[in-house]
Homo-oligomer: A and B are copies of this chain.
Amino acid sequence: MNQPYPSSLLESAVNEFAKLPGIGRKTALRFVLHLLRQDDSHVESFTNAILTLKKEIKYCSSCHNISDSEICNICSDLSRDPSVVCVVENIKDVMAIENTSQYKGQYHVLGGIISPIDGIGPSDVEISSLIDRVKTKNVKEVVLALNATMEGDTTNFYIYRKLEPLHTKVSIIARGVSIGNEIEYTDEVTLGRSILNRTPFDESYKL
């Protein structure tokens, strides 16, 4: 539907909202008209929250999780075991695993996974910082918790090869996660079980 916008200001706001993932122009218009009906203070707190986040957000220097400070809440939590490091793709995966309350170690957020088809190689994700961390921080176990996809598996094997010379225990969350599914959308019981039942990783491993 070719929308004849009555205002160019309206149109440019709709265009901006329509850039959000999964949002078309009709839904974008609904959002914009919703904001137009709100008080100025409401709209300002909306845009301020976004701008402040974008300007002041930090990434934990240890695990690369999103954080308000130099070291994130999880890495600075003394009740957690720093010798176990769970490798995840992104912060949504951290949140999903935290939500199960089954894991008391730390994380390492790769910020992506190896995907040759998308031009993402090992140097584009936080793998070398993971290896450094294992070398220097007395990490006893690395738990691989990437999506059960081709790319996840490629990344698992790459990390495994890099860690092999260090003789660190490498485990992988149990494939209670259905093949082809993503961590973020797995129900918490299955996900929690898959962390408890992590199994040793070696060359015989297949999806």
Interface residues of chain A, those whose CB is within 8 Å of chain B, are: 1-10, 12-13, 15-17, 19-22, 27, 29-36, 40, 42-47, 49-57, 65-68, 72-74, 90-92, 94-95, 98-99, 188
Contacts and interface: CB of A to CB of B under 8 A. Distances in A.
User: Copy number of this protein in the oligomer?
Assistant: 2
Nearest to A39: B54
A82 B65 CA distance: 60
B31 A54 contact: no
A147 to B, nearest CB: 16
Chain A interface SS verdict (over half): helix
A12 B53 contact: yes
A4 B99 contact: yes
Contacts of A22: 27, 30
A8 B15 CA distance: 28
A66 B42 CA distance: 20
A47 B53 contact: no
A92 B29 CA distance: 9
